[in-house]
Amino acid sequence: MKYLITIVGPTAIGKTSWSIILAKHFNCEIVSCDSRQFFKEMTLGTAVPNDLELAAAKHHFIQNKSIFENYTVGDYEKEAITKLDELFRTNDYAILVGGSGLYVDAVLKGFDEFPDIDIEVRSAVNSSYEKLGIGYLQSQLLDLDPQYYNTLLQENPQTLQNPQRMMRFVEVCIGAGNPYSFYLNQKQKSRNFTPILIGLEADRKLIYDRINRRVDVMMNEGLLTEAKKLYPNKDLNALQTVGYRELFSYFNNEISLDFAIEEIKKNTRRFSKRQLTWFKRNSDTKWFDYETKVDELITYIKSFK
């Protein structure tokens, strides 16, 4: 039997540290499912594991793509499963770690399959967006798939501001003739491993304090300079993320630097709340306090054998 130790939880809770501890104990490798850490041009704003952490355990899917590549969750699913198949040939354990719930689900359950969409439909949706803006996509999704629109509004409102994701939802609704949500969770793909889901949690105030401190550290380490280099490409999908968008607004002279930093902290706190909402939906996840002794986690993992 093969086991995928899956570590989830809100940002800044310490998932990277725990994954390395467990990887050392089980002598296995780590597969990242943090969609912000895939991109090699983004380091400070995505809290990529540092050189010591990367040296402590073998990591995969860390800064392995460029922001200029069109990399989807479906692409990630295929590549991650291929990598896990390779790792399981020589080890009974592997570790999946990250805070991107959609990417975790893609590995554990499989990405939903959608019908092919005619290129003319895709072009028409893209053209309408360029003329009318994100409001057009939002109104279309609300009209064509109110169920999914309201799900996003409650659980992941940031997605409603993501043009690439929204265009995909709308083109599927129009091109397939069914709501986007019709194709979600239709069937679960078989996997050759048993997932062991571990959630890390802490008091909300403590999480928020850790987030605030992390943002301060990022700024001290040069996030402003990193964002300035990326600013010419600010419209790329990979850069529509917390920590960069706010600094782009500062570069646009829309807000002050101090306000941008506070917005990063606030938006990261909101993101962490949505992460918990997403991960708490899975009743198979065993939740541990982030300061739990390592022996307790190891005992829980070994109980699956």
Confidence (pLDDT) at 162 = 87
Beta strands in 29-112 (DSSP E): 30-32, 59-60, 93-97
Reduced to 3 states (helix: H, G, I; strand: E, B; else coil), residue 6 is strand
Task: List, in order of start, the domains of the chain with CATH numbers.
Answer: 3-112+186-302 (3.40.50.300), 129-183 (no CATH)
Q: For residue range 94-137, what is the model confidence (pLDDT) as tens digits? A: 999 998 998 999 999 887 778 888 989 999 999 999 999 999 99
**For residues 111 and 188, what is the distance between their CA atoms, to the nearest angstrom?**
8
Residue 189 DSSP label:
P
Q: Residues within the annotated binding site?
A: 9-16
Segment 265-276, tens digit of pLDDT: 999 999 999 899
pLDDT digits (tens, 9 = 90+) for 78-94: 999 999 999 999 999 99
Q: Is 241 left (phi over 0), alpha (psi -120 to 50) or beta?
A: beta
Regions of the chain with pLDDT less than 50: none
DSSP assignment of 178-220 equals: S-GGGGTTS-PPP-SSEEEEEEEE--HHHHHHHHHHHHHHHHH
- What pLDDT is recorded for position 183? 85
pLDDT, position 187: 67
Tell the residue number behind the tokens 């939880």, with chain if given.
9
Which pLDDT score, from 0 to 100, does residue 305 have?
84
**SS3 for 289?**
strand
Residue list for the binding site for substrate: 11-16
Binding-site residue ranges for ATP: 9-16
